[in-house]
Amino acid sequence: VLQEKLLPVIDACFTEVNPIPVKKAMELIGLDKGIVRAPLTELEPEHVTIMKKALLDLGLKIKE
């Protein structure tokens, strides 16, 4: 049951190459993510939207 609840967040973590989505998720919930070093980039805006929705649906608060 817990895995089913986490599935949208898990899916959002694989919208781009890791660790980009995981670092964005950490940032969104207020954890220190460190920097994303080259050649990696920031998470694409449409994927940020997916990640935010998944985290909010899980009941987590988003820091903006």
Q: Which residue has the higher pLDDT, 64 or 45?
A: 45
Alpha helices in 13-60 (DSSP H): 20-28, 45-57
**Model pLDDT, residue 23:** 95
Per-residue b/e over 2-24, b at no fewer than 16 CB within 10 Å? eeeeeebbeebbebbeebbbbbb
Average pLDDT over residues 3-29: 96
**Model pLDDT, residue 24:** 96
**Model pLDDT, residue 41:** 94
For residue range 23-59, list pLDDT tens digits in order: 999 999 999 988 889 999 999 999 999 999 999 999 9
Question: Which residue reads 């954890």 in tokens?
Answer: 31
**Model pLDDT, residue 49:** 97
